[in-house]
Structure 1
Amino acid sequence: MRIGIVVDSTCDLPQEFLRANDIVLLPITVRIGDAVLADNRDEEATLEFLRAHIATRGHEAETQPFTTQQIRDLFLQRLVVDYDHVFCLTVTRTRSPIYDNAVQASFAILNEYRPIRQAAGHTSPFALRVIDTQTLFAAQGITAVEAVRLRKQEASVAQMRTRLEELAANSYGYMVPRDLYYLRARARAKGDRSVGLIGAALGSALDIKPVLRGWRGATEPVAKLKGFESTVEKLFDFTIGRIRAGLMTPTVCLSYGGELDELRFLPGYNRLHNECKEHGIEIYECVMGLTGMVNVGKGAVVVGFAAAPHEFKV
């Protein structure tokens, strides 16, 4: 059976990994004033756009994910012919309409695919499963990497579905933002009151940085620590602790809102890499997607992994 994997462009994985494993992307379009760019996970284009626009006007950006009609067209024009079953892994539905759009599109796709497949010489049925990863950014990468691994092992559709849904409920994304004023301005532009003015001002004045967690559809602060680099180091050390306790997949995903050389110079980065190597954990790291950066600002660090329920403690 030919199994396809679809993600949206908030899924932070290296572009070469997506290409090498034929992962299909649902791009999100970003508009800042007259500048428009489709977020196709092109790191160079993202960094260029970042240098030109995000620093000053990113909080004003408008983002437009694939609509129900666009998802329907993508499947009917290409995917129902290329694959027999597709897993569509989306950013948490609490932060984006992509999941709901994909579910809505699936009804039309399953009603209309038969003549298209028959014309291409395929007589078997087509099926798809939309899975809400319940998290975002680097943490979305966990289910995608596992889907690739299971496909290579020729796991059945039922086995893949069970495993991916299990991981979606246990994938954690931890983020340390660099600029709380930007985060608050962006949240206000979107009508999100989760980052208040007092909290942003206090954080900047005292150099307090929150650790935000994306898990099971909720995004919330789980710690407030002093200093950006110190907070990132504590997050890396916390991740090392979770690795030692045992992860649900041999995978850690990292994304950074800027040049990766900056990420690699942060304290604790080398310790995390050494720990992953010692435990047979593969690290996937990439520049944060443009959609992520316009929502959380430059310089944010995100760590994603799958683990049993736990609390963030340093």
Structure 2
Amino acid sequence: MTRTIRLSRIHALNWYGYKDAIQCDGNVLLAGVTGSGKSVLMDLIQFVLVGDQRLVRFNQSATGERSQRSLKGYCLGDTKQEDDGINPYMRQSAITYAALEFKWPDGKRTETWGIRIEFRSAADVHGNVTPFFLPCSMERGNFLDDQKRPLEYPAFKDVVETQDGRLYTEGVDAYLRDMAQPVHLNFERSLLRSLLPTAMSFTFLRSFNEFCRLFILPSDKLDVGDVTSSYRTFLAYERELKELNDQFERLSKIRDTFLRLVDLRKIAALARYLEAKLNYEYILRKL
């Protein structure tokens, strides 16, 4: 039996033109003409798993490069059709639920991870973004009120609390931290955030070296500060060692000269002694 945790459902409620809960059991094929919304779903998957809007490459799977699409555009439905410098939206205010449902191999465990996005007006720049976690499967209707509209925050908070879930009001970092834990989806967060946006862009790479830089090597610049410091310390030790070696050679020459001087003084003392003795014997013979 496979041990793979599988994506089983995509919730896209007011995510651009989508207002659906899409089943993903087994193999799923996304097909359609250009502009039908295939890349829109890819962007939803990226956003839920990566979280950081600065890292998500919206619409790159369709264009091959980063586009002008934004989270606000997905929530309000940016038509990209300017009229007198004004870019109209399909919705002047909106609440969006973007979520992914995952099932464990035994079929007895299901988790839903997602993000609630709310823009009160087209003038709202950043909106309110609240990640959430639910330890269960969610139907499309669970995100809607009696009038089939996305739940307001208090009503959705009640749903989350009822299911023993969690709203990450402190921000996306805690959400991503928990989602990556072994007790949940169990993945390397730094690796996913660097590789997933690039992998889902579906663009051709120029060379194997480029593949290594993008998918194998870390995206962050290498910190060579410690290496540089160690090398400079090595050079300093090398200079000191050279100076010590020069001092040792000079001291060795001084030592040799001194020992030679001591030997010469001994020889000189012996010569004076012999000279004095010979003179003494000579005088005795004369007497």
Structure with greater strand percent: 1
TM-score, reference length from structure 2: 0.28
By relative contact order (CA 8 Å, sep 6+), the higher-ranking structure is 1
TM-score, reference length from structure 1: 0.26
Structure showing greater Rg: 2
